[in-house]
Structure 1
Amino acid sequence: MSYEATRDRVETYFDRTATQVWARLTSDAPVSRIRQTVRAGRDTMRAAMLARLPADLRGARVLDAGCGAGQMSAELAARGADVLACDISPALVEIARERLTYPLKPRVTFHAGDMLDPSLGRFDYVMAMDSLIYYAEPDLALALDALASRSRHGMVFTVAPRTALLMAMWRAGRLFPRADRSPTMVPHSAPRLARALRDAGSAAQLAPLDRVARGFYISQAMELRP
């Protein structure tokens, strides 16, 4: 499946099928034990990714690529960054806009559309948490190269790690009920992805970072430097 086809499928899922599921998951509302592990895992991963950036981001322009409900965007803005919060789902962008507290609003610009759109401009940093997990290796390599080439200091992103446990859990369909299950994640390993980046002509340097495993949330952070 091409990047465009996968992107459109992801948009349909988040904008029509599971908007309220993700709105609830990313809030303080009570959720099931399974989703509690996902929520805790996402909180841990977000903190690990943010730890790779300076505590003071005043003057920096940062792309939150796949901002979802806006938690990463709010954290970046709190550090003083000028944030472009971009997501393919207009419904999630609207949730993120509504949740952002007033003191941070001037620092965040929201955009519903493709994170790879070159008209978005250049950035000091790019953050992409769990927004690239559905793309096959060649498409992911091209997307990463496109984002890294427009980032002065590089990007921090996550992938689904290539583990037997993750794939067994995903095949069992236990992360979400069948009615609102997300598109299929594609697992990746750092060596294979580094090779795909080289094959795509990218000179960016890939380094694996933290892996977070909290119950039904398993994700691998990586960093790409231009």
Structure 2
Amino acid sequence: MATASYFERRSELETYFDRTAAEAWSRLTSDAPVGRIRATVRAGRERMRATLLSWLPEDLRGRRILDAGCGTGALSIEAARRGACVTAIDLSLTLVQLAQDRCPQDLGAGSVSFQVGDMTDPALGNFDHVVAMDSLIHYEAGDTVDMLARLAQRAERSLLFTFAPRTRPLAAMHTLGRLFPRGNRAPAIEPLREIDLRRRLARAERLDGWETGRSERIASGFYTSQALELRRP
């Protein structure tokens, strides 16, 4: 069940990516030159995207994929090039419009349908695989598990997602970030301990029939994120 904290954070993210960070995010996700810090983030995101894609079948023809929190669409495009029928959704109209502008006309056997909205909307339908790359990292642990449970209800084979692992550097940056005026900072990342997250997932009744699979952490300068696989036995 969606909580007040979930709706508050979702609103913050929508505002941040549509207004505050739109230009910076556009540059970060392009091949334009960026500073040293953002270059490490770009490299980390590229490695994470490659990791998640490697956990999907190489031949995705006939597979339906939900890119939950698609951003500027890089993962969606790569999946479509491998034959997938991708539904790509994000809260940010600005990012979705950018993704549509960047999407090639010829994707071979695959396709991408870009939409603006809530990734957990059941009206999106069912999918073979759901991928949520760095789109849950701003939510509290309880809200994250609730969102995963709702996404899992519409995934038939696997659910791949990332979370911010609780490390000392991330915890320090998280604490420091809260010292800045609210209007001058990005929505906070909520670091989670993997063991705690796994316990929460195991206790979630709506995730009965799912098991945790592969896990991989990507650390690249100022980017640290961890991928985790949920799959049906």
Asked if Structure 1 and Structure 2 have the same fold, meaning a TM-score greater than 0.5 normalized by the shorter chain, the answer is yes
Q: Deviations over 1:195-226 (max 9, x none)?
A: 22244312122235110000000000001124
In structure 1, the gaps of 5 or more residues are none
For the residues of structure 1 that align with 2:202 and 2:221, how far apart are their CA atoms?
A: 34
With structure 2 as the length reference, what TM-score do the two structures score?
Answer: 0.90
Instruction: Determine which of 154, 165, 171 is the counterpart of 2:169.
Output: 165
With structure 1 as the length reference, what TM-score do the two structures score?
Answer: 0.93
Give 1:77-226 correspondences, 5 Å limit: 77-104=80-107, 107-173=111-177, 181-201=185-205, 202-203=207-208, 204-226=210-232
Note if 1:18 corresponds to 2:24.
no
Match for residue 60 of structure 1? 63
Q: Secondary structure at the match of 1:124?
A: strand
Conserved in 2, the CA contact under 8 Å of 1:64 and 1:127? yes
Note if 1:31 corresponds to 2:34.
yes
Q: Deviations over 1:93-130 (max 9, x none)?
A: 00000000110297010110000000000000011100
Conserved in 2, the CA contact under 8 Å of 1:116 and 1:147? yes
RMSD: 1.7
Conserved in 2, the CA contact under 8 Å of 1:208 and 1:220? no
For the residues of structure 2 that align with 1:194 and 1:149, how far apart are their CA atoms?
A: 18
In structure 2, the gaps of 5 or more residues are none
Q: CA deviation at 1:172?
A: 4.2
The amino acid that maps onto 1:37 is T
Q: CA deviation at 1:179?
A: 7.3
Number of aligned residue pairs: give it.
222
Judged with a 3 Å threshold, the aligned counterparts in structure 2 of structure 1 residues 98 and 160 are, in CA distance, closer, same or farther, namely same
